[in-house]
Structure 1
Amino acid sequence: MKDTRIHIVSKSSCQQTLLSNFLADHTGLICNHIAENEWPPYISKEDNHGAIILWDCLNVELDRLEPKLCQSLYPLIDHFNFVLYNVTPAHKNSHSTFTEWVYGVFYENDPPDLILKGIRAIGQGEIWLSRSTLSQIFLTKKARLTNHIPNTPGLTRREKDILRQLSSGASNKDIAASLFVSQYTVKTHLYNIFKKIGVTTRGQASNWASKHYHVLM
C-alpha cells in the first residue's frame, strides 16, 4: 500500500483539506484534494494505478450521481479503487447499484478512525461495505440468477444424466454402458431430450447443456 495515492474529489475544500491531511499523516501516503470539475483530466492512469479515489457524496442523491460517474469511470475501473464517502445514512441501500465498481462506502457519521481503518483495508485489496449492504447485494444477485435460470423443460432425472454425459463427449455406447441400458434406450431418451429442449443435433444439445449446466445438476 506504500505506493498508493489517495485523491479526494469534492466541491468544497476546507473539510477535504482536513481529511486529506489526516489521511496523509496516518497512512504516510500522498493524499490530495481535487475539485469535482477537474478530476478526470487530473488523474493519469499510468501514474496512479491502484490509487484510491474518495468521492464526496455530501448532499448528493446517489441515483442521480450514478449515470454521471459511470460515464466517467468506466475507462478507469481497472486502474483505481473508487470509494464513496459522506454518504447520508438514509441512503444506505441506495448505493447497491454502484457495486460493480465501488470498493467502499463511508457515511456522514463515520468517525475519522473508522475511515482510516477502511482506507487501509481498501489499500490492501479488501472491500469496505457494511454487512447489510453485502447482504442486499448477495440477495439481489441471487434473485437475478434465479430469474434467469431457465426451466428444465420437463427433463427427467435420467434425461438430465444422459444430457450431461452427451455434453462431455460420451457416445451412445458409452452412455448405455454407464447406465446399464441398451443403445436403443439411449436413442429413445435422446429423441425425447432433443424435442424438449428444441434442438435437432447432438452438437446443439451439447451446446444447450453447456449453457444450462447448472440446471442439470
Structure 2
Amino acid sequence: MSQAKAIDTVFIVTEKSPQSKLFAEYLGTHTECQVQLQSPNERVTAPASGNALMLIDSDHISVDTLPDWQHQLPETLHNSPLAAFNIRDMDHALEALSCAQLKGVFYRHESLDVICKGIHALLEDELWMSRELMTRLILFYRKYQNNAFRPACGLTNREMEIISLLSAGASNHQIAEKLFLSEHTVKSHLYNIFRKINVHNRIQALNWIHQNLGPILPNIETARSLQRRH
C-alpha cells in the first residue's frame, strides 16, 4: 500500500485578521498546501512532515528584526525557505535582502495568482524574485562583494555592514546609531555572526576578520548606497 504524499506547509507570519484569514484560505485552496496563520509573537511549531515555507508580512515584521525572529525558529526550520510579501518597492526589497537570506520577494501589487506560483517555486527550492531585482543583485555582488569568502561564512549584507564597523572599532552603541538599529538588534546580529564564523567573543571575531578578510573587507554600506544610485 503506497504512502500518501506529505503535504507542504506555508506559514504566513502576520497579524491575524479577517483579511489575513481570507488570504490564507485562498492560498490553501490554490496551492494545495497546509496554510497556517502565525502571529509574529507566537512560537512556530515545525510540521511533522513535508517541506515548510515561511512567508513574512513586511507590514508586520520590520526587515531589521527578521534575523532576531528567524533565530527563534525551531532548528528543523532553519533551512526552510524564507520569503517576504507586501514589499513596497525596489529599495525596500534590497533592504530586506540585506538583513535576511530571503529566497523570495513578493511586491505589494502582485496578484494572488503570482504569489501561488511563487510559493510552488520556493517549495521546489527555487528563487522567486523579479528579473529587475535579480539583475540589481547580480550587479551588486559582482561589484561590491568578495565571493571568495561569502559562501564559506554565509554572512548576510547586514552582517557584513556590522563586521565592517566592528573591524573599525565601533561599539554596539555606535553600530546601532550608524545603522539606525536598536542595540538589542545589534547584539542579535553579533550572536549570529559569531555563530557563523565559529568564535565566542569580539576579540576572537576581530582576529577572524584580520586573518580572513584583512584589507579587502568591503565597505558594504557604501556599496549599497552606490547601488541605489546606479
What is the rounded CA distance, in whole Å, between the counterparts of 1:140 and 1:48 in structure 2?
37
Please say which structure displays the higher CA radius of gyration.
1
What is the one-letter code of the residue matched to 2:13?
A: V
Task: Report the Cα offset of residue 140 of structure 1.
Answer: 2.7
Further displaced range: 17-26 or 139-148: 139-148
On the 8 A contact 1:7/1:31 being kept in 2, the answer is yes
What is the one-letter code of the residue matched to 1:14?
A: P
On the 8 A contact 1:9/1:56 being kept in 2, the answer is yes
What is the rounded CA distance, in whole Å, between the counterparts of 1:114 and 1:141 in structure 2?
27
- Give the equivalent residue in structure 2 for 1:194: none
Offset from partner CA, 1:126-184 (integer Å, 9 cap, x none): 11012222223222322222898xxxxxxxxxxxxxxxxxxxxxxxxxxxxxxxxxxxx
What is the rounded CA distance, in whole Å, between the counterparts of 2:65 and 2:146 in structure 1?
27
Q: TM-score, normalised by structure 2?
A: 0.53
- Give the equivalent residue in structure 1 for 2:106: 106
- What are the within-5 Å matches in structure 2 for residues 182-197 of structure 1? none
- Give the equivalent residue in structure 1 for 2:175: none
What is the one-letter code of the residue matched to 1:91?
A: H
Secondary structure at the aligned position of 2:82 is classed as strand
146 and 114 in structure 1: CA distance in 2 versus 1, 3 angstrom threshold: closer
On the 8 A contact 2:10/2:33 being kept in 1, the answer is yes
Give me the CA root mean square deviation.
Answer: 2.8
- What are the within-5 Å matches in structure 2 for residues 119-134 of structure 1? 119-134=119-134
67 and 99 in structure 1: CA distance in 2 versus 1, 3 angstrom threshold: closer
Point out where structure 2 has 5 or more consecutive residues left out of the alignment.
150-211, 213-230
Task: Report the Cα offset of residue 88 of structure 1.
Answer: 1.5
How many residues are paired up? 143
- Give the equivalent residue in structure 2 for 1:8: 12
Secondary structure at the aligned position of 2:145 is classed as helix
- Give the equivalent residue in structure 1 for 2:200: none
- Give the equivalent residue in structure 2 for 1:55: 56
What is the one-letter code of the residue matched to 1:33?
A: L
Q: TM-score, normalised by structure 1?
A: 0.56
* 2:75 corresponds to 1:71: no
Match 1:43 to one of 39, 42, 45: 45
- Give the equivalent residue in structure 1 for 2:190: none
Offset from partner CA, 1:164-210 (integer Å, 9 cap, x none): xxxxxxxxxxxxxxxxxxxxxxxxxxxxxxxxxxxxxxxxxxxxxxx
What is the rounded CA distance, in whole Å, between the counterparts of 1:118 and 1:35 in structure 2?
22
What is the rounded CA distance, in whole Å, between the counterparts of 2:35 and 2:148 in structure 1?
44
What is the one-letter code of the residue matched to 2:51?
A: G
The structure 1 segments of at least 4 consecutive aligned residues displaced by more than 4 Å after TM superposition are: none
Further displaced range: 91-100 or 24-33: 91-100
36 and 138 in structure 1: CA distance in 2 versus 1, 3 angstrom threshold: same
On the 8 A contact 2:81/2:103 being kept in 1, the answer is yes
- Give the equivalent residue in structure 2 for 1:26: 30
Task: Report the Cα offset of residue 15 of structure 1.
Answer: 1.9
On the 8 A contact 2:16/2:38 being kept in 1, the answer is no
